[in-house]
């Protein structure tokens, strides 16, 4: 069962301390008090004479007999009402939205309204005390009771409604993201060569890191899946915006300030900080570590749709990094994908559950195709090596978790797509041949028990099916040599399985390729697309002929005991 820590308690005392201690709150107080004083003077000098004549012309007004005893009590009640409402609303909302008080202390409208309430109360008490000392302040009395009080009565209910609406999780997420985006926009206006003051450097980095931390807290505290999905997509949106601003940010910004060096995400990475600073990837690393923590949590709690959404955001970030030519970030994305796969295999092996890996490998494969689109040959070579390595891991785990055999098929599907794209883009023939050979080794693992191999590959034919599907593609474009290589590779199965079992297995594969349509009759996380479908079944007979030619070149197959 997933457990969450207790949200911090919000009290009236905490709100008052924040009101009196934060610089933004004190700035709001100064603005409000100055505004009330200025409005009082302007009303006294310019408005009250005309207003006085208007009232005296229509009513019998005795200014000295105006009853003002009730006003201070009314204002004190209103002040308590506003502060009490804020306390109650924030306290309840903070149970699912942690650190909500921090957001309100940076929300100008809330600060201005609270200080306006306090300012009106102080204004009324002041003129009441001064008037009792014998100094006539009739214009100020009229300004307070005829202007400030009606305005306040008209605005108090809309303000409370706005506060209630703003506590919605979606509004909090938007506030965090917009605040971080505005901070990045202001920094980008300085330019890459700008000198960044020490206090600005630390405060901006700290603000951005706090926004990321608060988004992560929402993944823990908020119980609703829709809100969690909004947070994950928010991470992706903010990282995309960050990449837009990144070339314009001051170079000094990428130095990790001492104020954030002790951030929980960096405490185990102190030795890597110089490399992160040089590569300008400290912010992305921070965000992806937090997103990765969420990914692991979703794995452990069986929320596969949310863990898949994490992988999707990582894939989108990789695509943006390729478009921006950000090589260090591309490396970070690759490492994060590998890290996710490692945890996915561990989870799948423990629970005999392939669903998460199925979705993850799909997005990893899409990222590899983005690499192909951008002609990143070295990285494609590396990722193909990772695919073979993780395929071997899944194969070895099949004794404990038979369901992971399906992941071998999924890896083969993604390698197949990438190979077709490489061929269509006319990549270097030697490079393509090396990746093609790696693809063929996906079901040719060494040092495997023979009996286990016979049993496994006679029942799990997905990888070989993808090999033959690629051969049919080559036959369709007239490249018979590559199709012959696949046919020759299937002779390993012939020698392993023997003539009878080999023919039975191949017959099953050819039947699936011939009769399977592009859509599956059931729905999956990836829709109902049939990943085993081939659009070239008309070449199956020619491939069988190539197999027969290869068989004739072999010695008598080894008999299976």
Asked whether residue 162 is domain-assigned, the answer is yes
% of the chain surpassing 70 pLDDT = 86
59 and 206 in a single domain? The answer is no
Last residue of one domain, picked from the residues 280, 301, 322: 301
**Residue 391: per-residue pLDDT:** 93
Please report the DSSP string for 370-403 in residue order.
HHHHTT-HHHHHHHHHHHHHHHHHHHHHTTT-GG
Question: Can you give the C-alpha Rg of the chain in angstroms?
Answer: 34
**Residue 378: per-residue pLDDT:** 96
176 sits in which H/E element: helix 169-188
Q: Are 149 and 74 in contact (CB under 8 A)?
A: yes
State the pLDDT confidence band at 2, using cuts at 50, 70 and 90: very low
Last residue of one domain, picked from the residues 265, 285, 301: 301
**Residue 9: per-residue pLDDT:** 47
Query: CA–CA separation, 108 vs 228, rounded Å?
Result: 27
**Residue 144: per-residue pLDDT:** 86
**Residue 7: per-residue pLDDT:** 44
- To the question of pTM greater than 0.85 for the whole model, the response is no
134 and 271 in a single domain? The answer is no
Query: CA–CA separation, 67 vs 74, rounded Å?
Result: 13
108 and 136 in a single domain? The answer is yes
Token pair 């890996």: residue = 357
Mean pLDDT lowest for which of 99-113, 213-227, 314-328, 398-412?
99-113
Q: pLDDT for 19-78, tens place per residue?
A: 555 677 788 888 999 999 999 999 989 888 887 777 766 776 666 556 555 567 778 887
Higher pLDDT, 199 or 372: 372
Last residue of one domain, picked from the residues 301, 321, 336: 301
Asked whether residue 454 is domain-assigned, the answer is yes
Higher pLDDT, 170 or 287: 287
Per-residue pLDDT, averaged over 122-138, amounts to: 80
**Residue 269: per-residue pLDDT:** 73
**Residue 224: per-residue pLDDT:** 86
Q: Are 314 and 333 in contact (CB under 8 A)?
A: yes
Domain that holds residue 222: 168-301
Asked whether residue 338 is domain-assigned, the answer is no
Mean pLDDT lowest for which of 87-96, 131-140, 172-181, 417-426?
87-96
113 and 260 in a single domain? The answer is no
Query: CA–CA separation, 408 vs 500, rounded Å?
Result: 25
176 and 294 in a single domain? The answer is yes
133 and 217 in a single domain? The answer is no
**Residue 417: per-residue pLDDT:** 96
Cα torsion through 210, 214, 220, 222, rounded to 10: 180
Range picked from 24-38, 77-91, 442-456, 480-494 for highest mean pLDDT: 480-494
Q: Looking at the predicted structure, is the pLDDT value of residue 298 above 80?
A: yes
Q: Looking at the predicted structure, is the pLDDT value of residue 118 above 50?
A: yes
162 and 204 in a single domain? The answer is no
Q: Looking at the predicted structure, is the pLDDT value of residue 550 above 70?
A: yes
Per-residue pLDDT, averaged over 326-333, amounts to: 96
Per-residue pLDDT, averaged over 169-189, amounts to: 91
Q: What are phi and psi of 526, to 5 degrees?
A: -105, 25
Q: pLDDT for 345-358, tens place per residue?
A: 999 999 999 989 99
Contacts of residue 290, Cβ cutoff 8 Å, sequence gap at least 6: 212, 213, 215, 216, 235, 265
**Residue 290: per-residue pLDDT:** 93
**Residue 97: per-residue pLDDT:** 59
% of the chain surpassing 90 pLDDT = 48
Q: How far is CA 210 from the centre of its chain?
A: 15
135 and 173 in a single domain? The answer is no
Three-class SS state of 528: strand
Q: pLDDT for 252-279, tens place per residue?
A: 999 998 888 887 777 777 778 888 889 9
Average pLDDT of the residues of the chain:
85
36 and 81 in a single domain? The answer is yes
Please count the structural domains in the chain. Answer: 3
Q: Burial, 276: exposed, middle or buried (Cβ in 10 Å; 0-12, 13-18, 19+)? A: buried
Asked whether residue 442 is domain-assigned, the answer is no
Query: CA–CA separation, 335 vs 338, rounded Å?
Result: 5
Question: Partners of 529 in the beta sheet?
Answer: 519
Q: Looking at the predicted structure, is the pLDDT value of residue 450 above 70?
A: yes
Per-residue pLDDT, averaged over 142-170, amounts to: 84
Alpha-carbon distances, residue 176 vs 196, 207, 216, 248, 549 (angstroms): 23, 10, 11, 22, 66
Alpha-carbon distances, residue 144 vs 33, 81, 126, 140, 150 (angstroms): 14, 19, 11, 6, 9
155 and 24 in a single domain? The answer is yes
Asked whether residue 253 is domain-assigned, the answer is yes
Q: What are phi and psi of 521, to 5 degrees?
A: -85, 0
Q: How far is CA 345 from the centre of its chain?
A: 22
121 and 223 in a single domain? The answer is no
16 and 148 in a single domain? The answer is yes
């Amino acid at each position: 069962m997933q457990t969450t820590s207790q949200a911090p308690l919000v009290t009236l005392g905490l709100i008052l301390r924040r009101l009196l201690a934060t610089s933004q709150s004190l700035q709001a107080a100064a603005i409000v008090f100055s505004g009330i004083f200025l409005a009082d003077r302007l009303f006294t000098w310019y408005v009250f004479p005309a207003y006085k004549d208007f009232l005296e012309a229509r009513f019998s007004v005795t200014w000295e007999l105006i009853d003002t005893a009730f006003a201070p009590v009314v204002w004190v009640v209103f002040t308590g009402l506003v502060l009490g409402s804020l306390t109650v609303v924030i306290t309840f909302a903070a149970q699912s939205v942690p650190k909500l008080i921090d957001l309100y202390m940076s929300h100008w409208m809330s600060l201005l309204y609270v200080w306006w309430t306090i300012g009106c109360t102080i204004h009324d008490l002041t003129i009441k005390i001064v008037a009792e000392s014998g100094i006539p302040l009739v214009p100020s009395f009229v300004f307070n009771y005829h202007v400030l009080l009606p305005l306040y009565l008209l605005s108090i209910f809309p303000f409370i409604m706005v506060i209630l609406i703003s506590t919605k999780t979606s509004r909090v997420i938007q506030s965090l993201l917009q605040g971080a985006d505005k901070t990045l926009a202001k920094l980008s206006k300085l330019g890459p060569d700008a000198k960044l003051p020490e206090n600005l450097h630390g405060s901006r980095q700290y603000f951005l890191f706090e926004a990321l931390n608060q988004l992560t807290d929402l993944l823990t505290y908020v119980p609703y899946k829709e809100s969690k999905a909004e947070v994950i997509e928010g991470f992706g949106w903010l990282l995309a915006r960050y990449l837009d601003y990144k070339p314009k940010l001051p170079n000094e910004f990428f130095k990790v300030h001492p104020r954030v060096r002790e951030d929980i995400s960096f405490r185990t990475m102190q030795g890597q900080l110089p490399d992160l600073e040089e590569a300008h990837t400290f912010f992305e690393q921070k965000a992806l570590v937090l997103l990765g923590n969420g990914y692991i949590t979703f794995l452990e709690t069986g929320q596969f749709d949310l863990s898949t959404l994490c992988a999707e955001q990582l894939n989108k970030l990789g695509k943006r990094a390729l478009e921006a030519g950000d090589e260090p970030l591309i490396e970070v994305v690759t490492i994060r994908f590998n890290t996710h796969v490692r945890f996915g295999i561990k989870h799948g092996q423990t629970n005999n559950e392939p669903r998460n890996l199925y979705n993850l490998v799909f997005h990893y494969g899409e990222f590899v195709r983005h690499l192909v689109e951008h002609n990143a040959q070295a990285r494609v070579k590396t990722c193909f090596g990772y695919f073979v390595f993780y395929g071997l891991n899944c194969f070895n785990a099949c004794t404990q978790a038979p369901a992971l055999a399906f992941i071998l098929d999924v890896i083969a599907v993604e390698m197949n797509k990438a190979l077709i794209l490489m061929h269509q883009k006319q990549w270097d023939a030697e490079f393509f041949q090396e990746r093609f050979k790696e693809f063929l080794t996906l079901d040719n693992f060494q040092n495997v028990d023979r009996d286990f191999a016979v049993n496994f590959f006679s029942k799990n034919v997905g990888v070989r099916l993808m090999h033959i599907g690629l051969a049919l593609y080559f036959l369709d474009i007239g490249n018979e040599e590559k199709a012959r290589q696949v046919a020759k590779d299937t002779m390993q199965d012939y020698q392993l399985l023997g003539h009878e079992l080999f023919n039975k297995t191949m017959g099953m594969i050819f039947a699936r390729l011939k009769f399977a349509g592009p859509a599956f009759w059931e729905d999956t996380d990836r829709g109902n697309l049939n990943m085993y479908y081939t659009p070239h079944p008309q070449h199956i007979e020619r491939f069988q002929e190539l197999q027969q030619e290869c068989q004739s070149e072999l010695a008598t197959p080894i008999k299976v005991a």
